[in-house]
Each structure stands twice: as structure tokens, then as C-alpha cells.
Amino acid sequence: VSLFVGVTVLLVLGWVLLADTLVKRVVEGIGTRLVGARVELESADVGLFPAALTLAGLAVTDPDAPMTNAVEVGRAALAVDGGALLGARLVVDDMRVEGVRFGTPRARSGALAPKARKPDAASSGPGLSMPSFDLPDVGDILRDNPLTTVADAEALARDARAARAAWKERVAALPDKEKLEAYRERAKALKDAKGGGLEGLLGAAGAARDLKRDIDRDVDALQSARDDLKADLAEYRSRAKAVADGPAAEARRLADRYAGEGLAGVGAAFLTEAAERWVRTGLAWYHRVEPLVERAARAHGDTRAARPLRAKGVDVRFPEHNPRPDFLVREAAVDVALKGGTVSGTVCDLTPDPEVLGRPLTFAFQGARTADRGAVNVSGTIDRVRPDAPKDTFRLRLGDAPVRDLALSRGGAAPVTLARARADLAVDGSRAGDALDVTLKADLSGARFVVPEAGGQAARALGSALAGVRETTVEADVTGTVDAPKVRVRSDLDRIVADAVRGLATERVKALEADLTAAIREKAEARLADARGDIDALDGDGGVLGERRAELEAVLKDALQGATRKLPF
């Protein structure tokens, strides 16, 4: 028994002496696994009576920048519920976190071994590429776009051909040479008729009247047809002119469109790149934090099996009379040291078992405006009370915050830096299930953008355009899912930058327009020539109708003169 007591005492002494080191190793191990980069702790101090834990010098490496700490914590003091420890639960009633700083430099790299380090999308990115003005090939444009000019030429040729056929039939139905000759015969007979007294005179007058009526009717028919033909000709000639002018107009429209596509979003491009980078980084940290607030679990009726780790088995949870999470930080008071002053806040109900606790994690931080920093107000919830239906919210307000040397576009042809500005920023975000809905609005004043001129002509144009921008508004929406977010950025910088850069493309656009005009004209020309042939033929039909009308009128005149001479009065 004495040996047993001795061993037990040794174990207890070992625990007391080694507990600090053990906790330090556990914190570093779990942190490193969660973050994917080295997490280091200067010291841990475990107290048993009362149960407490103090951590000092916690440094969390930024996995995207291993020579920088994403977060550094000066001191964290935890008051632990000793009674809960007997139930194998770690419940932190009160937690004080002081000296939290972001982005501090590291003396040595915190990267893990290369094989353990996953490539992170947040660190990649091609940088902003300025538009190259490589407009598409004329052949490609003609192939991809149905040409209205050619279609109009084809329709005109088809219609003119049909009109010509219709007029051919109509002209055939009108008085022709044969009928004209018949009228001449009747007029001649009228002139040659010998006088037969009053009866003869009356008969000649009647014949003359009949002849006049017939000729007038045919003259009217010819005139009507000629008028109709004139109208048709006017229409076809107008269409032919439109088709002839079409290639230039259509080429201008297409060239503008492709040039516009090439230049579209030039202004927003570097903002979008920056927004996408920030969203990727934010979501990467969000995913790293998620294991702290939810636990992978599968249900077995009322029981649950959690933490399925290899060679560790699974812990099956059973219904509890008084359910409490295995790990819980009821309230953590956090002081974040920022340039210009401290931002303080609280994090409540941090637990990987929120469905047991029945309350979501909430956080709220505030910092008043100082000379070097704007007012800060951040709050939100991470709700995993129903693990199958995550429901998170986030709200950030920055008032009159100074911005300095903010890299908007890191690489590419034109790296853009916001050298200085004051910003009013409002971000409202939510997650329901996997769907993201985030809106951002930033009003910048006193802005100064910097674009190195080494980027070439386009970069100089961009820099020149941004040089005059002092105030601007940027709005962004993030939709999609947490795994595939979609970022859309709008800004009045779009127009400013696009106008400046568009000037550089003018010569190429004009050359494209000329090539397109020639190509479209060539395609439409054959159809237009066919149509013009038919239109000219119709014009010829109009001449024939005019001649016939004149001849008919001459016959009528001649006949009427002959008849008049015979009258005795």
C-alpha cells in the first residue's frame, strides 16, 4: 500500500510540476493544427485552488505571411469552474485577454514544414492586369455576330425580286400596244366616218364619248399603277441606301461594343481584386475558427457520437439531466491594442457544443475615435445552436478611420496602392446555411492613389486618372456560398478610370471599325447589287407605264379633235 501511495504521490507531484509545460504543449499543438502555422506560447501557469489558468505570450503565425503574427496575445487569465472539472468539463467562468495585437513581426518564420503547408488561395493572385487592347479578329467578330446589314441586303434583294415579279404581272394586265392599236382604230374610224345628218352626227358623238371613257379609264389605271410603282421604288431605293450605309454604322457599333468589353470594369478591377483577396482571407480565418464553435457530430437517436479521430475512438454523448458543454468560455473580456488606442469588447458563450448550451456565440467590440484611429464598432453572432443550419451575423462600422498604404493591387501591370485616405466603412453580413449575404460601403475622402509608372502606358493612364480622385465611394456585395463566394464591386472609379484608359484604345478601335466596314460591305455587296438590278428594272417598268399613258392620251386627243371638226356648230 505504501508503494501505491508513493506512486500516487509521485504522479501528483509530476502533474503539479509538469502541468504548466503540458498545458503549454497542448495549446501550441491544438493551435498549430487549427491555424496551419506555428502557434507559440511563452508560458502557462496552472492553478488548482482555485482552478485557474494563465497564458502569457501567445503568438499565432499568419499562415499567409509566416514572418508575421496574425494575432499576438500578451496575457490571458482564465478562471475555471473547479466543480465542472470533476465532470470532465472545462468551463471558464471569466476570461481576461489583454494586449491583443494584430500583424506583429516575428523573429523567425512560423511556417510549418512545406509538406504540411497547404497552398492557400488567399495568398495567391495574379495581380491586376491592365487591358491589353487586343481586340478580337474581324473574322471572329463576323462569325460570332449575326450581321443586320447583310440580313437587310438579303431581305431587300428578296423583296425587290418578288416586287419585280408582281409588277410584271400587274403591267401585263394593264393596256398594252394591242389595246392602244385598237383605240387608234376606233379613233380613225371616228375621224373617217361620213356625215349622215343629225343621226350620223349623234352617232359619232356617242362613239367619241365611249372612246374617251374607255381611254380615260385605262389612263387612270396606268396612272394609278405608275403612282404605286413610284411609291414602291421610293421604298426600295430608301432601303437600298440604308443597306449601302449599313456597314459603316454596324462596324462602328460592333467596334464600340468590343472595345467597351475590353475596357469594362477597368476601374473596378483593382478594387475587385482587393475585395476578393480580403474575402478569401476572411473566410480562411472563419473556417479556422469554426472548429472552436462547432463539433462534427452524428446522431444516434438521443445519443451523439462526436470527435471521430483515428485511434482515439469516439465519445458518445448521452442525454443529460442538466446539459452543459464539455468546454465553455462564458465571457471573455478582450482588449485589442491598435494603433491609436485600445478597442475593448467581449466574447460570450464560446463553446464547441452550442447546441448543448442553447445559445450562440456573440461578440461586440467598441473603440472611440482617437487622433490616429477612427471609431470602431464590431459585433456579431456565430450561431451553431442548430448545427445543420448555421446562422451567423456580422456588423462593422468604422468612422473617419485613417487608411495608409493599403495595397489594392499587389502585382500585375499596375499595382495600385491607396497611400492615404479617411474612410467611413459599413459592413453588414450574414450567413444562413451556406449562403452568404454581405454588403460593404466605403466612403473615402482625402484619398491619394499611387500607381508606379513602371507599369507602362496603361499604368500611367491609370495613375493619371486616379491622381485627381480625392473622394470616392466603393460598394461591394458578397453572395454565393462560404466555399464559393462571389464578389461584386461598384464604384464611381469605374467611369473615371475607364474614360482615361479608353482614350488609349481609340486608334485600334478605329482600325477595327474600318476593317469591319470593309468586311461587312463585301458580304452585303452582292445582295445589294441584285436588289439594285431589280429596282432599276422596276424603274424601267415605270417608264413603260408613262409612255403608254402618253400614247393613250395622244390617241384620245387625236380622236376628240377629229370628232369635234365634224360638228356643225
User: Which residues of the chain form contacts with another protein (CB under 8 A)?
Assistant: 1-4, 7-8, 86-89, 300-303, 305, 311-321
Instruction: Report the nearest approach of another protein to the CB of residue 3 (Å).
Output: 5
Instruction: Report the nearest approach of another protein to the CB of residue 23 (Å).
Output: 15
What is the Cα–Cα distance from 69 to 490, expressed in whole angstroms? 32
Report the DSSP pairing between strands 65-80 and 52-62: antiparallel
Residue 426 forms beta bridges with which residues? 397, 441
Cell numbers describing residue 390? 448555421
Of 12 and 407, CB closest to another protein: 12
Instruction: Report the nearest approach of another protein to the CB of residue 316 (Å).
Output: 4
Of 85 and 567, CB closest to another protein: 85
Q: How far apart are the first and last CA of the chain?
A: 169
Of 302 and 483, CB closest to another protein: 302
Instruction: Report the nearest approach of another protein to the CB of residue 5 (Å).
Output: 9
Of 8 and 561, CB closest to another protein: 8
Instruction: Report the nearest approach of another protein to the CB of residue 274 (Å).
Output: 48
Of 143 and 310, CB closest to another protein: 310
Cell numbers describing residue 505? 484604345
Cα–Cα distance list, 405 to 127, 338, 402, 448, 450 (Å): 17, 16, 10, 10, 9
What is the Cα–Cα distance from 224 to 173, expressed in whole angstroms? 13
Who's near 209: CB < 8 A, 6+ residues apart? none
Question: CA triplet 513, 519, 521: central angle to 5 degrees?
Answer: 100
User: DSSP class of residue 123?
Assistant: G
Question: Environment class of residue 215 by beta-carbon count within 10 Å: exposed (0-12), middle (13-18) or buried (19+)?
Answer: buried
Question: CA triplet 522, 528, 530: central angle to 5 degrees?
Answer: 120
Of 6 and 206, CB closest to another protein: 6
Instruction: Report the nearest approach of another protein to the CB of residue 126 (Å).
Output: 47
Cell numbers describing residue 509? 478601335
Q: Which helix (H) or strand (E) holds 331?
A: strand 327-338
Instruction: Report the nearest approach of another protein to the CB of residue 493 (Å).
Output: 58
Q: Which amino acid is it at 284?
A: A
Instruction: Report the nearest approach of another protein to the CB of residue 113 (Å).
Output: 25
Of 257 and 300, CB closest to another protein: 300
Of 179 and 324, CB closest to another protein: 324
Of 91 and 378, CB closest to another protein: 91
Instruction: Report the nearest approach of another protein to the CB of residue 482 (Å).
Output: 31
Question: Environment class of residue 212 by beta-carbon count within 10 Å: exposed (0-12), middle (13-18) or buried (19+)?
Answer: middle
Of 290 and 315, CB closest to another protein: 315
What is the Cα–Cα distance from 509 to 496, expressed in whole angstroms? 20
Instruction: Report the nearest approach of another protein to the CB of residue 399 (Å).
Output: 49
Of 287 and 300, CB closest to another protein: 300
Of 295 and 521, CB closest to another protein: 295
Q: Which helix (H) or strand (E) holds 524?
A: helix 506-565
- Angle, helix 148-173 to helix 506-565, in steps of 10 degrees: 10
Residue 474 forms beta bridges with which residues? 442, 491
What is the Cα–Cα distance from 295 to 28, expressed in whole angstroms? 20
Instruction: Report the nearest approach of another protein to the CB of residue 32 (Å).
Output: 22
Of 4 and 49, CB closest to another protein: 4
Cα–Cα distance list, 106 to 39, 101, 227 (Å): 12, 13, 94
Cell numbers describing residue 235? 421604298
Instruction: Report the nearest approach of another protein to the CB of residue 350 (Å).
Output: 21
Sign of the four-CA dihedral 462, 465, 471, 476: negative
- Angle, helix 148-173 to helix 197-263, in steps of 10 degrees: 170
Residue of 484, 462, 369, 338 whose CA lies nearest to 408: 462
The answer to whether residues 160 and 152 touch, using CB atoms and an 8 Å cutoff, is no
Of 232 and 353, CB closest to another protein: 353
Instruction: Report the nearest approach of another protein to the CB of residue 81 (Å).
Output: 12
HSE-up of residue 414 (Cα within 13 Å, Cβ side): 28
Q: Which amino acid is it at 346?
A: T
Residue 132 sits at φ, ψ, to 5 deg, of: -90, -10
Instruction: Report the nearest approach of another protein to the CB of residue 303 (Å).
Output: 6
